[in-house]
Amino acid sequence: MATKGSLVIAGTGIQWAGQTTHAARTAIEAADRVLFAVADPWTVQWLRGLKPSAESLPYASGDTPRRLIYQEMVQRILAPVREGLRVCAVFYGHPGVLHDAAHAALRQARAEGLPARMLPGVSFLDCLYADLGVDPGQHGCQVHEATDFLIRGRAFDVHSPLVLSQIAAIGNPGFFDAANTERIQRGLRVLSEVLRRRYPASHEAIIYEAAVLPIHPPRMTRVTLEALATAAISDVSTLYVPPLGPAPVDEDMLALLGMSSGDGTIRSTLGGD
Ligand SMILES: C[S@@+](CC[C@H](N)C(=O)[O-])C[C@H]1O[C@@H](n2cnc3c(N)ncnc32)[C@H](O)[C@@H]1O
């Protein structure tokens, strides 16, 4: 009887090896076929150390729409699963954070009745919480993909941290090209204008890049919103916009909950220590 293939989608974390969960590593080692889409050559080397036959998923450059490459990735991932192999598809960071192909492969496998699951991993957000000392339980945390944030006019709260990913690819459906400074700066200029409608121009944000190697420090460059358009960024830059102080407390709500503004429990109830 033919064996049924299966799919595990795993993440390496941002720092190869050190941030790869035990479950992800076990899934990589146990798979018949390992396919990967990761961001740096050290992770590739490490993966091939674990699984010498590991194959790279298709990558593209230039203006090929990302969605076309992702469709191709999904087909490459599913083909061996349909043949009855145990497949592990590996993405960098958390495989479910900003990886359309990972989610699409999972959905498609399940739609075809093939066993498929995703293992959580360490994403850039987890690194950001640690490096920038942000606790999402304190003032909340808003996370948006930068182009989506702009084109959908996402509502946001200036009293809660705002994290914007893919700021180097604003308005770019293709792949990151560092040489195309005109496109990169246009995107940042528009983002700066939109943010300055709600924050002061002098408000300082942080361009954040978690370290890929444990021997490197993370990048945490402060930049005022008015200077954002000309800031040096890379394809892994994330923008962190700190809140404009805590949100005012609703006295009517306090009363409804039987609390008072002098109540020492408010800070801890709202996420403080
Ligand atoms: C395609 S997404 C991949 C995210 C990844 N799956 C994760 O879990 O972190 C790429 C975006 O994630 C963010 N990102 C990726 N690597 C990063 C890093 N080392 N530091 C900060 N942000 C990063 C950037 O906003 C980048 O544009």
CATH number at residue 41: 3.40.1010.10
106 lies in the same domain as 202: no
Q: Is 57 inside any structural domain?
A: yes
Q: Ligand 1 centre from 66 Cα, in Å? A: 15
Provide φ and ψ at 58, rounded to 5°. -65, 135
The pLDDT of residue 271: 46
Q: Residues 80, 109: contact at Cβ < 8 Å?
A: no
Q: Which of 92, 118, 144 is the last residue of a domain?
A: 118
Q: Which of 118, 150, 185 is the last residue of a domain?
A: 118
CATH at 177:
3.30.950.10
- Whether 208 is catalytic is no
The pLDDT of residue 263: 60
Q: Is 257 inside any structural domain?
A: no
Strands 6-11 and 55-56: unpaired
Q: Is 270 inside any structural domain?
A: no
Q: Ligand 1 centre from 240 Cα, in Å? A: 13
Cβ–ligand 1 contact at 12 (below 6 Å): no
Q: Which residues contact 113 (CB under 8 A, 6 or more apart)?
A: none
Of all helices (H) and strands (E), which one includes residue 66?
A: helix 66-82
Total domains, the chain: 2
The pLDDT of residue 16: 83
The pLDDT of residue 101: 96
Give the count of beta carbons closer than 10 Å to the beta carbon of residue 75: 12
The pLDDT of residue 175: 84
Domain that holds residue 102: 6-118
Amino acid in position 232? A
Q: Is 85 inside any structural domain?
A: yes
Adjacent-strand bridge partners of 206: 222, 240
48 lies in the same domain as 15: yes
| Atom number of ligand 1 nearest to Cα 122 | 8
Residues of the chain under the 70 pLDDT cut: 1-2, 61-62, 263-273
Q: Which of 98, 118, 138 is the last residue of a domain?
A: 118
CA-CA distances (angstroms) from residue 168 to 19, 231, 238? 25, 11, 9
75 lies in the same domain as 46: yes
101 lies in the same domain as 21: yes
Q: Ligand 1 centre from 222 Cα, in Å? A: 18
